[in-house]
Structure 1
């Protein structure tokens, strides 16, 4: 696969190392929302696991900690609820530069793992209802398939209600 994008190749290596058995699919560039990805994959929008990076800050100021939330494409994240649940003062959407620095990937292509350093990760248990879940594979046009159990194990995530 000489023509494979380097970020997808890196993701593929990490997926294999983690024991992932799912397949990686490169979608058309025009597929940039959970709804469009679901349509292209022939699945429900809820089976798309959005990998959303947030910046968490304690009330005392300090530096931002990256928090990754894997949520169903059918959900919005309730930032106040999640911040209270995980014990941070404030949770807000991360800026593109922060996302790239912490994940090594760009918004729209953030995978659940294969980051330069471990990121505290949370998983929306609503995804459990789907036999197959699709998540980003390190590039905005690439996704991979996994079961809920595989995703939970590969990410070492904590399950929390996000909405």
Structure 2
């Protein structure tokens, strides 16, 4: 399967292989760029989409990854209270520079630079979730428990 993947999706699959779980990247013909598009393409509920959003710490200027349930909008004040600094929106250049991936395909793992990771506690209600895998057409299925293990993210309610 992975021999037919695009370069970015292969990179994600390679990182996933290092964790020792059976996690397989699939590339789909329809877009998974947004949570709604992913829901339509995969056929799962929107809450099962683990959307990876990159923010920037206002003071530190470091990348902060928030993996949120597709139904939730991130409450920046809640995250600020957890990490101790305000968030800023990260532009496409910042995202690419720090993750190595384009917006719409950012996976929760395999970034160019270390990224502080926050995971939305709402994802824990699902047996399986879907995350981006390097392109707006690539995804992989996993459990919330595995997501926490492979990202070492802090679990909080982000909405």
Q: In which range does the TM-score fall when normalised by the shorter chain?
A: over 0.9
**Helix, strand or coil at the partner of 2:124:** helix
Which of 93, 99, 104 is equivalent to 1:97?
93
Q: Which runs of 5+ in 2 are unaligned?
A: none
Q: Which runs of 4+ in 1 moved over 3 A?
A: none
Report what 1:106 is aligned to: 102
Residues 68-79 of structure 1 mapped to structure 2, 5 A cutoff: 68-79=65-76
TM-score of the pair, normalised by structure 2? 0.93
The number of residue pairs the alignment matches comes to: 158
Match runs of 1:126-141 below 5 Å? 126-141=122-137
Which residue of structure 2 lines up, in the alignment, with residue 87 of structure 1? Answer: 84
Task: Check whether the contact 1:20–1:146 (CA below 8 A) recurs between aligned residues.
Answer: no
Give the TM-score of the pair, scaled to structure 1.
Answer: 0.91
Q: C-alpha deviations, 1:42-87, integer Å up to 9, x for none?
A: 21000000000001122xxxx5110000000000001122112211
8 A contact 2:33–2:105 mirrored in 1: no
Gaps of 5+ in 1: none
Structure 2 equivalent of residue 27 of structure 1: 28
| Cα distance in 1 for residues equivalent to 2:116 and 2:32 | 28
Shift of 1:23: 2.5
After TM superposition, give the deviation of residue 102 of structure 1 in Å: 0.3
Change (3 A) 1:41 1:30: closer
